């Protein structure tokens, strides 16, 4: 609790100095514990604290309580999902579907169940829930049971800690201060990770804010990655030379031990 107040105190001071809002009666002000992650040889994951407060021009309205949703989305890419089937005793790829876009990482934390705090219309508009984030347009024409492929993708990436759904994990104090902790796994992809924060009432989004976390390789990992992608021929030659040297060193070592 002390940590939360220590982090949100600057937000509260900033809110007091902000000019009066001219639009919505409630607006969101947010912050991140860090906006950059460096992937090194000993990187085993990290924790991102996302916190914020609500700026008001009037007392909280009567009726539905305030709700908060926080999402963290990694770089998206198209995918081809294939299903293996046993034919004549051999497992081979059979049916396949193409996913237009699927995030490499996606975490969502909320103050309550989606069915209670988010309307289907706003879910479609802002693409908040995991089924809406995965773009699977037109896959029904590729396979009769195409929804099973999407469910398989979700299951696989959840097992890999790439997708997380944390219902009720956003802490909200007096409908003003909130925080959410998001775990980033060790198998992150490079890129800009988009953090979206929503405040809602009655299932409707009343304000939102976007932040970004830069994830980059650092040190030797970055140098090897850049070399492999920018000069693949040189990278291949160096890899072959290192493999040949390792084989020669192992052989020489065994000959020495036999003497």
What b/e readout covers 167-197, taking b as 16+ CB neighbours within 10 angstroms?
A: eebbbbeebbbbbbbbebeeebeebebbbbb
% of the chain surpassing 90 pLDDT: 43
- Nearest-angstrom CA–CA distance, 52 and 12: 9
| pLDDT above 70 for 90 | yes
Of 29-43, 111-125, 230-244, the range with the lowest mean pLDDT is 230-244
Least confident window among 62-76, 83-97, 98-112, 149-163: 83-97
Distance CA(53)–CA(65), nearest Å, equals 15
> What is the C-alpha to C-alpha distance for residues 187 and 237, in angstroms, rounded to an integer?
27
Phi, psi (5° rounding) for residue 22? -105, -10
Query: Tell me: the pLDDT tens digits for 105-164?
Result: 999 999 999 999 999 999 999 999 998 998 877 666 666 677 788 888 899 999 999 999
| Distant-in-sequence, close-in-space partners of 166: CB < 8 Å, separation ≥ 6 | 107, 108, 109, 110, 180
**Average pLDDT of the segment spanning 188-205:** 94
Question: Using 50, 70 and 90 to split pLDDT, how confident is the model at 256?
Answer: confident
Q: Any idea which residue has 């999902």 for tokens?
A: 81
Running DSSP on this structure, what letter comes out for residue 13?
H
Whole-number pLDDT of residue 144: 67
Quote the pLDDT of residue 33: 93
Question: Which residue in the block uniquely carries the two structure tokens 């995991």?
Answer: 130
Q: What's the mean per-residue pLDDT of the chain?
A: 82
Residue 245 burial by CB count (10 A; 0-12/13-18/19+): exposed, middle or buried?
A: exposed
Q: In the 3-class helix/strand/coil scheme, how is 211-246 assigned residue by residue?
A: EEEEEEECCHHHHHHHHHHHCHHHHHHHHHHHHHHH
- Under the banding of pLDDT at 50, 70 and 90, the label for residue 251 is confident
- With CA atoms as reference, report the closest residue to 119 among 129, 106, 133: 129
pLDDT over threshold 70, residue 240: yes
Local confidence band at 186 (pLDDT 50, 70, 90 cut-offs): confident
φ, ψ of residue 41 to 5 degrees: the values are: -65, -30
User: Can you tell me the mean pLDDT for 27-36?
Assistant: 92
* Cβ count within 10 A of residue 160: 11
State residue 131's pLDDT score: 87
Given a cut of 60, whether residue 2 has pLDDT beyond it is no
What the block records as the tokens of 241 is 């030379």
State pTM to two decimals. 0.75
Note the pLDDT of residue 190: 86
- Residue among 213, 89, 79, 85 nearest 156 (CA): 79
C-alpha 69/C-alpha 255 separation (Å) is 64
Residue of 165 and 257 predicted with greater confidence: 165
For residue 75, pLDDT over 60 is answered with yes
The 3-class secondary structure across 72-103, one letter per residue, is EECCEEEEEEEEEEEECCEEEEEEEEEEEEEE
């Amino acid at each position: 609790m002390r940590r939360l107040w220590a982090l949100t105190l600057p937000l509260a001071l900033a809110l007091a100095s902000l000019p009066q809002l001219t639009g919505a009666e409630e607006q969101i002000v947010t912050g991140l514990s860090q906006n950059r992650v460096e992937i090194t040889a000993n990187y085993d994951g990290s924790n991102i604290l996302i916190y914020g407060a609500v700026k008001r021009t009037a007392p909280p309205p009567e009726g539905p309580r305030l709700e908060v949703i926080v999402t963290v989305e990694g770089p998206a890419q198209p995918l081809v999902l294939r299903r293996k089937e046993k034919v004549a005793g051999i497992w081979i790829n059979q049916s396949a579907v193409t996913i237009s876009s699927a995030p490499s990482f996606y975490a969502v934390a909320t103050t309550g169940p989606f069915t209670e705090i988010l309307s289907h219309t706003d879910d479609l508009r802002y693409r908040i829930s995991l089924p809406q984030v995965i773009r699977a347009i037109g896959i029904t024409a590729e396979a009769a049971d195409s929804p099973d492929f999407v469910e398989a993708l979700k299951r696989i990436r959840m097992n890999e800690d790439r997708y997380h759904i944390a219902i009720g994990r956003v802490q909200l104090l007096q409908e003003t201060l909130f925080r959410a902790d998001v775990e980033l796994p060790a198998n992150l992809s490079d890129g800009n990770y988009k953090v979206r924060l929503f405040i809602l009432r009655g299932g409707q989004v009343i304000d939102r804010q976007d932040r970004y976390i830069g994830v980059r390789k650092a040190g030797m990992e970055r140098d090897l990655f850049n070399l492999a992608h920018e000069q693949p021929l040189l990278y291949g030659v160096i890899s072959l030379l290192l493999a040949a040297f390792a084989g020669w060193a192992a052989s020489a070592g065994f000959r020495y031990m036999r003497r």
